[in-house]
Amino acid sequence: MTNSRKLPFCKATMISRCVAAVAFCYLFYAIVVAAKTDPADYSALQAFHNGVSDPFHRLSNWQGDPCDDSWEGVFCASDANNLFHVTELRLLNHNLSGTLAPELGNLLNLNALDLMWNNFSGNIPSTLGNVLSLTLLLLNGNILSGKVPTEIGNLINLVRFQIDENQLSGQIPPTLGNLYNVQHLHMNNNSLNGSIPHELGRLQKAIHLLLDNNNLSGALPSELSNISTLRILQLDNNPFNPQPIPLQYGEMSSLVKLSLKNCNLQGSLLNLGRLQALQYLDLSNNQLDGTIQGSPFPPNISVIVLSNNKLTGDTSHFDTFENLQALILENNQLNGSVPVSLASASRFGSTQDNLLLDFQNNTISNVSSNLTSQVHGFTKLWLYGNPVICGSPPVELRQFCVPNTIVSVPDNVPDNSVTSCQAAACNPGIDELIPPLSARGICLCASPIKMRIRLKTPGFIFFDSYLTKFETFLSVGANLTLDQVFVASRKWEGSRLVMDIKLFPTISNAGNRSFNSSELRRIYDVFSRFQIPTDPTFGPYDLISFDFPFGTQPFSSQGSSGSLSKGAIAGIILGCAFGTSVAVAVGMFLLMRRRRLPKSAVNIFGRNADHGNIKISGVKYFTMEELLSATDSFSESHCIGRGGYGKVYKGVFKDGQVVAIKCAQEGSLQGFNEFHTEIELLSRVHHRNLVSLMGYCNDDGQQILVYEFISGGTLRDNLSPDLEEPLDFPTRIQVALGSARGILYLHTEAYPPIFHRDIKASNILLDEHKVAKVADFGLSKLAPTCEVDGSTPDHVSTVVKGTPGYLDPQYFLTRQLTDKSDVYSFGVVLLELITGMYPISQGKNLVREVNLTLVGGRFLSMVDSTMGPYPSEALERSLRLALACSSQELVDRPSMVDVVRELEDIQRSTPWMKSKAADSDYASDTDTKIFLSQKYLESSNDIWHVAPR
Ligand SMILES: *[C@@H]1O[C@H](CO)[C@@H](O)[C@H](O)[C@H]1NC(C)=O
Ligand SMILES: *[C@@H]1O[C@H](CO)[C@@H](O)[C@H](O)[C@H]1NC(C)=O
Ligand SMILES: *[C@@H]1O[C@H](CO)[C@@H](O)[C@H](O)[C@H]1NC(C)=O
Ligand SMILES: *[C@@H]1O[C@H](CO)[C@@H](O)[C@H](O)[C@H]1NC(C)=O
Ligand SMILES: *[C@@H]1O[C@H](CO)[C@@H](O)[C@H](O)[C@H]1NC(C)=O
């Protein structure tokens, strides 16, 4: 921070600096005076608090303003009006009890509700179904009772729904089949009854479906096999109707674990050879009675549990399993001999790997000495209860003929290997030796994050051979080095594996051995928001506890003005109150001093920003020097646009690469964490109809994003009436479809989902092939805006973020942002495409005008005359679609999926456009396109209209 280089970015003239200073001052005033929590959110939290019993006073700081005063577990974001909304309520494992107030349903911007591992009782409030922004709803590990509200099915953005380990009863609502974004559905260990609704087969993104340990009856729905993404299906311990395993379950090619223990299954064993991904199969404690024939298991399987059935047949079918860990067949009627090939598995005899072969209580008649001679180390062969072998066993077989039970699954003790380091050198209770380093003779102490994780349904029963893989999985998933991750202990609880994990800081060259607060926050988010990509072998995990290192508190300065002295605030307020000239002075003073003020002075979230270079895979880090040279020191001639966020420059790097460089300006700066989050979010968003982020720069605490450069200009420019080559109708449909696909991706594929909030024709760019690219999405929308050029100095008091003419009237009225707000704005863009008009011109609103002319039957007069010929039916359908999108009421608007489908259909419905769709993606030769257009135009029987010029 001692760098004294002059502020280069968004280079302002002296005059615009003054104007900026005024704006900045106003902005500051707005933050200090008006930064507070939405009253609706505040009263919802109050109502929740009133229902909570908090014996350990964990919520003792719930006083004052929730966001401004950093209430425990409350996370906020501010809108354009500097009003804070609660976006997360995370109180996992806080020893809370009481009931969940229905007012929680008023937290309409809530993204994560995490109340796991407390003692909440009573019902799940049905009002939670109103919180459409929820992506994480985590209520597991409480004592909630009553039914699962059908309204939960409204939460179409939900990615994770965990209500396991409660006392919920009643039926599983069929509406849960509407949760088309849900990936994790954990409802095990309740008292749910009735049958599993076949609607769950519609969950096209589900990965884990856990319904075990309930009171479910009825038939196993064959529709579950429609979930092509499903990896874990666990239905153990439910009194289903006696029935065979549905045939369709043999086709679930992504399935890694199938657990149907004690499910009342009958009939013969289904051939599961086609489940190529299957690693873990448990069909024990049923009444399966067929004969095992052929080779019913995929070769890669590692655990097969078929105990306590009535299976017959020859055990020689159990062979050639490369990765076998356990073959548990006890208490059946199997005969034949134990296949010697089991002994040839590579793991045999290895001291690292376990292998359990349990043939107890069958009618096995033979075991080869080739096999038994190789059984040692961690291999176990259990043959007790097979009369022919163990009736009066010869000496060499006796050891295999003693009764054994799988009480706790055997595993090796954790490796506490002696190191040459003296643990005493560390401060007890504060720090400790870093085991991965001390194992290599490097003796350093540090204070770790301690967390407890439970693998809910791992794909193995012995952990040892997975230890390194697991540590690697955690370190890669959490973006740590392998040396930072240590599994300190592990314990099986039934089929679940509980582990205590320690995460150590990296050791800097300067010998610094502690996490900084942003790193702590990041790691906490990674684990508590389940951001580690799921691994098929390890399955879903529970986060049981998360303890920050000794003496750290990563969320301590969450409030918005926490790090400015009261005097400074008072001074600024006073200065602003004196009138513009004084304000300019104060503002300029502030601007000059800005670099000496703590960064949080301009940080609307006010957390202690910790400025270092962020490393995020997939995006490039640019230095200020590179950007300066690419933009001729941010000269005005490179400026290609300005928006709420700041200015946009065209940059050309030395290697000839052209980019668009977007600089945050005063007032648009986000907190460091938010900036980091935004980059991380944007780095994962990739779609051909979205402008991609290439990199960023945060030298000197500046916030600059570097995007791919799109050469064809904005859609608005391309609708200008005096273009030489105006867009023809098929191209307009193509552009509409591309934009719609981009928006749909933001709504459904981005995680967390992104609502654009500012869809407009000038935010849609066209490349040289007229492929639409939606621009300007991301969290920067949360930042307040303030025009540098001073044209709208009262900008900060705009009520709702968005652009007049495109703004969803419902959002405006209710401030409730939904995906349908983008649908509305998209409808306006579609009307612009059809009419060429601006959303608001001469005081007239396009949506209203079109509706009026439609009523008067005069609509054709509004069709853009530069567009050339168009098929009347396709135009009419597009128009109907546009008006449906821009309906006043949310319910009347189609979803983005439907919009895309309808546009695809419109495109398909005319041969001209079909060919266009097929070739426009790749064709660069416009002549070909025109030729095709003409050809199809001539051959088409459709009625074509040309709008009067
Ligand atoms: C819940 O209550 C039970 C009994 O009162 C207690 O043993 C348990 O520790 C509590 N759990 C939590 C997370 O507070
Ligand atoms: C508080 O919660 C922890 C973690 O669940 C539990 O171990 C402990 O027993 C609880 N304490 C009380 C008094 O309920
Ligand atoms: C789930 O329920 C089963 C059966 O009641 C029980 O054995 C098991 O321990 C429970 N699991 C958890 C994690 O509570
Ligand atoms: C399970 O459901 C049956 C009805 O299907 C009911 O009679 C029984 O009491 C339920 N058992 C439990 C433990 O809830
Ligand atoms: C077999 O299992 C191993 C690990 O258990 C895995 O890496 C491999 O991809 C699997 N092969 C197939 C075909 O699923």
Per-residue pLDDT, averaged over 602-607, amounts to 25
> Is 115 within 8 Å of 138 (Cβ atoms)?
yes
**Separation of alpha carbons 266 and 244, rounded Å:** 5
User: Considering every ligand atom, which ligand is closest to the CA of 120?
Assistant: 1
Q: Is 121 in the pocket of ligand 1 (CB under 6 A)?
A: no
User: Residue 505, CB half-sphere, CA atoms under 13 Å: how many?
Assistant: 23
* 758 catalytic residue (yes or no): yes
Instruction: Give me the pLDDT at residue 343, please.
Output: 63
> Is 532 within 8 Å of 526 (Cβ atoms)?
yes
Q: Which residue has the higher pLDDT, 128 or 372?
A: 128
448: amino acid identity, one letter: P
Q: Is 878 in the pocket of ligand 2 (CB under 6 A)?
A: no
22: amino acid identity, one letter: V
The CB density around residue 592, as the number of other CB atoms within 10 Å, is: 11
Instruction: Give me the pLDDT at residue 815, please.
Output: 67
Ligand 3, closest atom to CA 454? 13
Q: Is 117 in the pocket of ligand 1 (CB under 6 A)?
A: yes
Q: Please give the structure tokens belonging to residue 130.
A: 């109103």
For a pocket test of ligand 4, which of 167, 215, 237, 240 has the largest count of ligand atoms closer than 8 A to its C-beta? 215
- The whole-chain average pLDDT of the chain stands at 78
Give the three-state DSSP class for 878.
Answer: helix
pLDDT tens by residue, 815-849: 677 788 899 999 999 999 999 999 888 778 888 88
Which residue has a Cα nearest atom 7 of ligand 2?
95
**Separation of alpha carbons 276 and 279, rounded Å:** 9
Which residue has a Cα nearest atom 13 of ligand 2?
95
Among 358, 381, 378, residue whose Cα is nearest residue 369: 381
Q: Find where tokens 């376990």 sit.
A: 354
Q: Is the predicted pLDDT of residue 20 greater than 60, yes or no?
A: no
Q: Is 266 in the pocket of ligand 4 (CB under 6 A)?
A: no
> Is 169 within 8 Å of 190 (Cβ atoms)?
yes
Q: Is 117 in the pocket of ligand 2 (CB under 6 A)?
A: yes
Task: Let me know the angle formed at the C-alpha of 88 by 83 and 92, rounded to the nearest 5 degrees.
Answer: 150
Ligand 5, closest atom to CA 302? 5
Q: Is 93 in the pocket of ligand 2 (CB under 6 A)?
A: yes
Same fold: 423-547 with 721-946: no
Per-residue pLDDT, averaged over 850-864, amounts to 80
The CB density around residue 105, as the number of other CB atoms within 10 Å, is: 18
- Residue 171 pairs in a beta bridge with 193
Q: Is 193 in the pocket of ligand 4 (CB under 6 A)?
A: yes
**Separation of alpha carbons 791 and 310, rounded Å:** 82
Q: For the chain, what percent of residues have pLDDT higher than 90? A: 36
pLDDT tens by residue, 778-787: 644 433 332 3
Write out 536-559 in H/E/C secondary structure: CCCCCEEEEEEECCCCCCCCCCCC
The CB density around residue 697, as the number of other CB atoms within 10 Å, is: 22
Instruction: Give me the pLDDT at residue 670, please.
Output: 65
**Separation of alpha carbons 94 and 119, rounded Å:** 9
Domain boundaries, the chain: 3-34+566-597, 39-144, 423-547, 608-709, 721-946
- Share of the chain residues as helix, strand and coil, in percent rounded to the nearest 5: 30, 20, 50
Ligand 3, closest atom to CA 456? 13
Q: How far is the CA of 119 from the centre of ligand 1 (A)?
A: 6
Which residue has a Cα nearest atom 5 of ligand 1?
119
Which residue has a Cα nearest atom 5 of ligand 2?
93
Q: How far is the CA of 214 from the centre of ligand 4 (A)?
A: 9
Instruction: Give me the pLDDT at residue 766, please.
Output: 93
Instruction: Give me the pLDDT at residue 461, please.
Output: 83
Q: 242-246, 592-596, 726-730: which has the highest mean pLDDT?
A: 242-246
Domain 423-547 has CATH 3.30.70: yes
Q: Is 297 in the pocket of ligand 1 (CB under 6 A)?
A: no
> Is 417 within 8 Å of 438 (Cβ atoms)?
no
The dotted CATH code for 39-144 is: 3.80.10.10
**Separation of alpha carbons 107 and 116, rounded Å:** 18
Q: Please give the structure tokens belonging to residue 535.
A: 């691994």
Instruction: Give me the pLDDT at residue 645, please.
Output: 66
Tell me phi and psi for residue 120, to 5 degrees: -65, 140
For a pocket test of ligand 5, which of 252, 280, 300, 302 has the largest count of ligand atoms closer than 8 A to its C-beta? 300
Q: How far is the CA of 67 from the centre of ligand 1 (A)?
A: 29
Q: Is the predicted pLDDT of residue 723 greater than 90, yes or no?
A: no
Q: Is 277 in the pocket of ligand 5 (CB under 6 A)?
A: yes
Ligand 4, closest atom to CA 169? 14
Active-site residue, selected from the candidate residues 535, 758, 776, 864: 758
Q: How far is the CA of 554 from the centre of ligand 2 (A)?
A: 23
> Is 549 within 8 Å of 514 (Cβ atoms)?
yes
User: Considering every ligand atom, which ligand is closest to the CA of 218?
Assistant: 4
Give the three-state DSSP class for 837.
Answer: coil
Q: Is the predicted pLDDT of residue 749 greater than 90, yes or no?
A: no
Q: Find where tokens 């940080």 sit.
A: 603
Ligand 4, closest atom to CA 193? 2
State the alpha helices, DSSP H only, in 684-728: 715-718
Q: What residues flank ligand 3, with Cβ below 6 Å? A: 165, 189, 213, 237, 494, 496
Q: How far is the CA of 212 from the centre of ligand 3 (A)?
A: 9
Q: Is 118 in the pocket of ligand 1 (CB under 6 A)?
A: yes
Q: How far is the CA of 194 from the centre of ligand 4 (A)?
A: 9
Instruction: Give me the pLDDT at residue 657, please.
Output: 86
Among 533, 531, 523, residue whose Cα is nearest residue 501: 523
pLDDT tens by residue, 517-574: 888 889 998 998 888 888 888 988 989 888 888 776 655 433 332 222 333 333 333 3
Task: Please give the sequence-ordered ranges of beta strands (E in DSSP) within 807-905, or none if there are none.
Answer: 840-841, 844-845, 869-871
For a pocket test of ligand 4, which of 169, 171, 193, 241 has the largest count of ligand atoms closer than 8 A to its C-beta? 193
Contacts of 661 (CB under 8 A, 6+ apart): 627, 630, 631, 648, 649, 650, 651, 704, 705, 706, 707
Instruction: Give me the pLDDT at residue 882, please.
Output: 94
Residue 104 gets the label, from left (phi > 0), alpha (psi -120 to 50) or beta, of alpha
At the top level of CATH, the class of 721-946 is mainly alpha
Tell me phi and psi for residue 834, to 5 degrees: -80, -40
The dotted CATH code for 608-709 is: 3.30.200.20
Ligand 1, closest atom to CA 119? 1
Q: 221-235, 592-606, 907-921: which has the highest mean pLDDT?
A: 221-235
Instruction: Give me the pLDDT at residue 549, please.
Output: 85
Instruction: Give me the pLDDT at residue 571, please.
Output: 35
User: Residue 544, CB half-sphere, CA atoms under 13 Å: how many?
Assistant: 14
Contacts of 880 (CB under 8 A, 6+ apart): none
Q: How far is the CA of 95 from the centre of ligand 2 (A)?
A: 6
User: Considering every ligand atom, which ligand is closest to the CA of 255?
Assistant: 5
**Separation of alpha carbons 373 and 396, rounded Å:** 9
Q: How far is the CA of 622 from the centre of ligand 5 (A)?
A: 39
Q: How far is the CA of 191 from the centre of ligand 1 (A)?
A: 20
Q: Please give the structure tokens belonging to residue 508.
A: 């800097």
Ligand 3, closest atom to CA 494? 9
Q: How far is the CA of 54 from the centre of ligand 2 (A)?
A: 12
Q: Please give the structure tokens belonging to residue 398.
A: 């006796």
